[in-house]
Structure 1
Amino acid sequence: MVSSYIAVDLETTGLDPKHDKIIEIGAVRVLDGQIRETYETFVNPHRKLEEEVASLTGISDEQVESAPEIGEVIKEFLEFAGNLPLLGHHVIFDYSFLKRAAVNQGLGFERKGIDTLKLARRFMPSEEKKNLKAACEYFGVEMNLSHRALADAKASHFLYQEIEKRYGGEEAGAFTSQELIYKVKKEQPASKRQKEHLQDLLKYHKIVLSVQTDHLSRNEISRITDKIIAQYGRIRER
């Protein structure tokens, strides 16, 4: 059974690590079952937050606009995490965003993980909801906040502790860490020509983007350009 780990949770602009960005990281260093240190920061996604995200998390554009960029934050997080395994509720989600950020900075990030969602699915009745809030309620784990990174990281830690206390003796194998698998390549920056073409399209069609084009990768800017052309058409020669 694993008793030392980094419990982590992210808030993001959406659910797809290829398209969406981290806006908050919360993490707890746990050694021998005890919380030793916490880490918490907003992250500037260089885009406006959708109303649904702001409403769900309570995070505002003003809070993230003044926050550090992911390149700075990911280095801090990796130093905080050391070589410990990651723990989270559907931990592969958080790992995929973190690994993409690390790879884009030229950093390696291979980890083992413990997934409290998998534990909830194993030890809760099938008819019960298995999201973090529902699992905590079922196992009597108190949650102070929901959909805020540090609070959810702590909740995942206490949920793991409670499930392990109840079932660790008879099913110790369920509480081992497993390799986290997420393959990603470093994203290439957009070219000057790509940026100029997109800016021309935006001006021609009178479109205002919610993302800052200077911070888009080659694939991101290409995807946005193709979407605009498909919806509005190309620039007509006069």
Structure 2
Amino acid sequence: MTSWNTEAIELLERKPKQQNWGARRAAKDKKYKSSSQLVDDYIVLDFETTGLRAGADKIIQIGAIRYVNHEVKDMFNTFINPFRHIPETVTRLTGISNETVELAPSINQKIEELLEFIGDLPIIAHNASFDMGFLYALDNIDGISIPEYIVIDTVKLARKKITEAPNHKLTTLTEFLQLEHDAHDAIGDCVATAAIYQYCVKKHF
């Protein structure tokens, strides 16, 4: 086992009990409402993270784009300092290193700004349970209250509308639809997710 792997495991084993509770709560209580209703105004949301476990692993980049009538109106993009080691595998995948986030704000410094950016619009995400798990793992920690959002999952939507694709991973769909895609960058993934959603909307009518 490499030294960075050992360090990452040791850091995970020392994670605060409160964050363990957050992970369990996120898995147990699905606070958001899944929807298949197609909308014209929405927020596309994507997180890059230190790993796959909401609450235990941490957000390292937030990407969100506001669409009104399917047109970009505003963008929210920031790196987040997770205050823990970012595994080399994550850096290779995302390009986000420990040096990248060294001077970045904490999630506590940015979460209220993100919630204000989302407002009361529905959220669109690809494999939404992943991103929502990380978002709701923050609920009731340090006074943070995450609203009950309406969420549209483009994986579920694409399974119904893009049946010819070999699978419904984001990179597979962008390649299948011949879309430009800056993969594993939060904003790049948001742009790709929005394009897939809009393709499904057009195919619906």
1:152-163 alignment, distance < 5 Å: 152-163=189-200
The answer (yes or no) to whether the contact 1:49–1:60 under 8 Å persists in 2 is yes
Residue in 2 aligned with 1:108?
A: 146
Per the normalisation by structure 1, the TM-score is: 0.67
2:103 to 66, 91, 111: 66
Per the normalisation by structure 2, the TM-score is: 0.77
Give the CA deviation at 1:43: 0.6
5+ residue gaps, structure 1: 170-238
Letter of the 1:89 counterpart: H
Letter of the 1:47 counterpart: R
Runs (4+) of structure 1 exceeding 4 A deviation are none
Deviations 1:103-126 (A, max 9, x none): 314213210111111112223337
SS of residue in 1 equivalent to 2:72: strand
SS of residue in 1 equivalent to 2:63: strand
Give the CA deviation at 1:98: 1.2
1:77-226 alignment, distance < 5 Å: 77-106=114-143, 107-125=145-163, 128-143=166-181, 145-166=182-203, 168-169=204-205
CA distance in structure 1 between the aligned counterparts of 2:85 and 2:177, rounded to whole angstroms: 37
Residue in 2 aligned with 1:17?
A: 54
Residue in 2 aligned with 1:8?
A: 45
CA 1:103–1:79 in structure 2 vs 1: closer, same or farther (change >3 Å)?
A: same
Say whether 1:54 aligns with 2:91: yes
CA 1:140–1:92 in structure 2 vs 1: closer, same or farther (change >3 Å)?
A: same
Residue in 1 aligned with 2:82?
A: 45
Give the CA deviation at 1:139: 2.3
Say which one has the larger Rg. 1
Give the CA deviation at 1:164: 1.2
What is the Cα-based RMSD across aligned positions, in Å?
1.4
Higher relative contact order (CA 8 A, sep 6+): 2
CA distance in structure 2 between the aligned counterparts of 1:149 and 1:110, rounded to whole angstroms: 22
CA distance in structure 2 between the aligned counterparts of 1:127 and 1:35, rounded to whole angstroms: 27
Residue in 1 aligned with 2:68?
A: 31
CA distance in structure 1 between the aligned counterparts of 2:179 and 2:123, rounded to whole angstroms: 20
